[in-house]
Amino acid sequence: MRILFVGDIYGRSGREALAEHLPKLEHKLDPDVIIVNGENAAHGRGINEKICKSFYELGVDIITTGNHVWDQREVIPYIQQSQRLIRPINFPPGTPGSGAAEYQLDDGRTLKVINAMGRIFMDPIDDPFRSVSEALANERLGQTSQAIFVDFHGETTSEKLAFANYFDGKVSAVVGTHTHIPTADAHILKNGTGYQTDAGMTGDYDSIIGADKQVPIQRFVTKMPVDKMRPAGGTGTLCGVMIVTNDNTGRTTAIDRVCVGPILKEYIPEI
């Protein structure tokens, strides 16, 4: 299975970058499934139904989120009935929405997508190791699902690496989100799980992790209350990860980063 994952879409610049570059990536990479993290898609904070539907029209299949999932309150009734927009699985029981989605391709193959969130330097939340273990209790990689993909939304590299190694061989791939900086460590773990610490941001890189530079600089320099952060409005870059898995085993056979747009060096893998 060929899986394209697009990292945190940040504001209008990120949405425009997705719309501009996704068709070219579909042509060159020929993905079976397209997953995006959309938790910052609405003016840099949260997502709403209108944006979700615009992503589906572009060819996106599943949307993951993170700690900003509830910032647009109108998303709550939508996520309760949506099968394609998911939130971190380790939110407390009773939280609206689902932490996992099953997507069936036209040829009958099945992909399970799980969204989890870290706990280090993040809001208090349930244990992601236990929550994902429970979600995988009846799964047999390559049998019940041809592939299992996890978006691990977390702050620290150590927690992301620990999570990926804990589930090595039980899921097809673990890709990190949240820091908005693409990492250069795409590789396959010992037991066949593909991994990259962070997919990076889809947005304007002439910024501070997607935000207009002036406000965060003022915060660091003055330590005084300043205006709310606002998304940078320049041309966006799309960053993500391309993954290829073996349908019989569910293990990753190839994984590499994707980067299209200005500021960062453009890179489209040949896998």
Catalytically active residues, by annotation:
68
What is the sign, positive or negative, of the torsion defined by CA atoms of 76, 78, 81, 82?
A: negative
Tell me how many degrees the CA angle 10-267-147 measures, rounded to the nearest 5.
75
Distances from the Cα of 152 to the Cα of 139, 187, 218, 219, angstroms: 19, 16, 30, 28
Crossing angle of helices 128-135 and 157-166, in 10° steps, is 30
Q: Which of 101, 81, 80 is nearest to 89 (CA)?
A: 101
Q: Which of 99, 136, 103 is nearest to 115 (CA)?
A: 99
Q: Where are the alpha helices (DSSP H) in the chain?
A: 11-29, 49-58, 75-81, 128-135, 157-166, 214-222
b/e map of 98-130 (b: 16 or more CB within 10 Å)? bbbbebeeeeeeebbbbbbbbbeebeebbebbe
Q: Which of 16, 40, 1, 4 is nearest to 196 (CA)?
A: 4
Q: Which of 53, 4, 6 is nearest to 26 (CA)?
A: 4
